[in-house]
Amino acid sequence: MNKKQNSVKKLFGTDGVRGVANSEPMTVDIALKLGKAAGYVFKDQNRRHKIIIGKDTRLSGYMFETALAAGICSMGVDVLLVGPMPTPAMAFLISSLRADAGVVISASHNPFEDNGIKFFSRDGYKLPDSKEKEIEELIFSGKIDGMRAEAQDVGKAFRVPDARGRYIEFLKNTFPHDLDLTGMKVVLDCANGAAYRIAPDALEELGAEVIPIGIKPNGKNINLNCGSMHPEAIRAAVVENGADIGIALDGDADRAVFADETGAEIDGDATLAICGADMLETKRLAKNTVVATVMSNYGLEKVIASKGGKVVRAQVGDRYVVEEIRRGGYNLGGEQSGHVIFHDYTTTGDGMVTALQLLSVIRRKGRKLSKLAGILKRTPQKLLDIDVSEKRKMESMKPVLSAIKAAEKALSGKGRVLVRYSGTQMKARVLVEGEDPAQIAKLAEGIAGEIKKAIGGKNER
């Protein structure tokens, strides 16, 4: 295997470079080289360049921020430091600050021990595979090691004191100007993450009464029993406080899940159903199409079809949803997990934009969230996550393949089976969808059992 092929496995995955902090590939050495490579790749004009660096609240963020900034500056490019900042805010700030690129230091919904580095180009979109490969080649070939600016040309690093205020104004401008949130009681869980100050301020400035939780980050409590990965926290708090809605963000605030006024969970599929139907009714849905993923419930297709629209499906991962949105000229898409892209406003998933769009539907229609969510009649699904020791091709594991084929046969064309690996974690995911909950649960467990036997992780054997 040549270096270029090997580098793909060592660095970029489906969402940047990810791993345990201070272990390969998430080390200071790699971060420094990534900074140098980014400085080189994004410096393509004869002028002074600048790259923004933002992060979430993980302990290791300080270490990687310093290493990246040093690498970028060593290439003669200036750095704009914005501190803790949601991932989607970076896409906006690149344009607002006329930067050439942005770097986000975050592992999103993962625990604090993990961290990641992902890049945005000057147009606010995540890097295409070709750019990631260029960066990898610079690092693994050793070419970047000998590259540096002359002493008089090294870059400087600046703090941007008004970055938070800029993003809050952007968020408020995505909410209809003829509406406000006066009289609404909102439980908001910021996951002790990047939006811990921004999100409460934005909602309060629009008039909401905010009951905030997950707003005391200490470097180690990001996503810990809170946020979108643990919506039970907002579900309980909504009922306890008699709130109208609960909003749960993840560590970098690019996704959001909700709780209605009864404490019932509202996931990404339900959000797409509510907002997609509303955009169809108001003739704002581009090409009458919603982009979902292969994991999204079939019930979403039924809702959108009933309103005269259609659903197209993309691979799992918000970057693939965005690619399909751009390719087809659509303006709404997302994932069951809560990544939703309102492309009229954003170039990536944005938890707060999603929350504000959902709140605008509630406000304009004057209906409870539970009533709006009733539009989605779900087809029964069973989803299982299995820890794995390696990501071996499914076709190479005959018992797993046999279990999948047997499940598909048992469903007789009245359901579907999807087995895939997580793009960011050492997990396999088994989804079985069909008419009989007991049957699909049994089929999913059967497939999961064969995966555990073949490649189960230390907790799965």
Active-site residue set: 108
Cβ partners under 8 Å of residue 111, min gap 6: 222, 223, 224
Peptide bond into 84 cis (omega under 30): no
Q: Which two tokens stand for residue 399?
A: 């018992």
Rg of the chain over all Cα atoms, to the nearest angstrom: 22
- How many other CB atoms sit within 10 Å of the CB of residue 195? 35
Contact 164, 198 (CB under 8 A): yes
How many Å apart are CA 235 and CA 224, to the nearest integer?
16
- Nearest Cα residue to 194 out of 227, 161, 171: 227
- How many other CB atoms sit within 10 Å of the CB of residue 173? 11
How many Å apart are CA 83 and CA 312, to the nearest integer?
37
Instruction: Give the single-character DSSP code of 26.
Output: B
Helix (H) or strand (E) holding 399: helix 398-411
How many Å apart are CA 318 and CA 225, to the nearest integer?
24
Would you list the DSSP string of 164-214? HHHHHHHHHHTS-TT---TT-EEEEE-TTSTTTTHHHHHHHHTT-EEEEES
How many Å apart are CA 404 and CA 393, to the nearest integer?
14
Dihedral angle over CA of 115, 121, 123, 128, nearest 10: -90
How many Å apart are CA 293 and CA 320, to the nearest integer?
9
Would you list the DSSP string of 115-173? EEEEEEETTSSBPPHHHHHHHHHHHHTSGGGG----GGG---EEE-TTHHHHHHHHHHH
- Three-state SS for 353-396 is HHHHHHHHHHHHHCCCHHHHHCCCCCCCEEEEEEEECCCCCHHH
- How many other CB atoms sit within 10 Å of the CB of residue 242? 8
Helix (H) or strand (E) holding 438: helix 437-455
How many Å apart are CA 353 and CA 89, to the nearest integer?
10
How many Å apart are CA 245 and CA 93, to the nearest integer?
29
